[in-house]
Amino acid sequence: MTNETLDPALVESLQDSAREILETMVFMTPDNIEVVPESSSVFRAEVVGLLGFTGTRSGTVVVRTTQDLAKTIAAKMLMMEPEELGSMEEACDGFGELVNMLSGNFKNAWVANGNVMDLSVPNVILSGEVRLNMHSDPALRTCVRIHVGGGQLDVGIHFEAV
């Protein structure tokens, strides 16, 4: 069951930009991209990428996946094999760039709707837990789940509580 919680045009834009970025910059074609409910303000994953934003609304872009998929994504961006990366820190740098690209494309859609958005720099956390001051209204958060490379990548947009 699909539960679109943000403006459907913004959710569709997030899905389209995720597909485009993965295909053109990461050279991986998603098997499926679906909207999934985002009901918690606590996120646990092997790799969590965060990028805060301010403007018309403040919030956080949260991207999460496994270390294996993060390493594969970073390697593909560099046109390498995952085992060629020197360390997980290199994978985190590449994953941070993915978070930056996804956030930038969401910003473009948000601004096209007449809003203002200023982005921070991405942060990547390994095997961590993140708690956000997330708005309780489900209309102000969404998550798309991308099935790619035998794993999944969750991309969430979360507006802060006021």
The model's pLDDT over 80-108, given as tens digits with 9 standing for 90+, comes to 999 999 889 999 999 999 999 999 999 99
Task: Output the 3-class SS for 71-85.
Answer: HHHHHHHCCCCHHHC
Whole-angstrom distance, CA of residue 154 vs CA of residue 64: 5
pTM for the structure as a whole: 0.91
Whole-angstrom distance, CA of residue 51 vs CA of residue 157: 10
Domain that holds residue 83: 8-159
Closest CA to 14 of 144, 140, 115, 112: 144
79 in a structural domain: yes
**CATH number for 18:** 3.40.1550.10
3 in a structural domain: no
Please state the domain count of the chain.
1
What mean pLDDT do residues 19-26 have? 96
53 in a structural domain: yes
Helices 88-112 and 8-24 meet at what angle, rounded to 10?
140
133 has pLDDT over 80: no
Contacts 24+ apart (CB under 8 A), 77-83: 77/25, 77/26, 77/27, 79/27
Closest CA to 98 of 121, 74, 82: 74
Q: What pLDDT sits at residue 94?
A: 95
108 in a structural domain: yes
DSSP code of 38? Answer: -
Q: Provide the mean pLDDT of the chain.
A: 90
Q: What pLDDT sits at residue 38?
A: 81
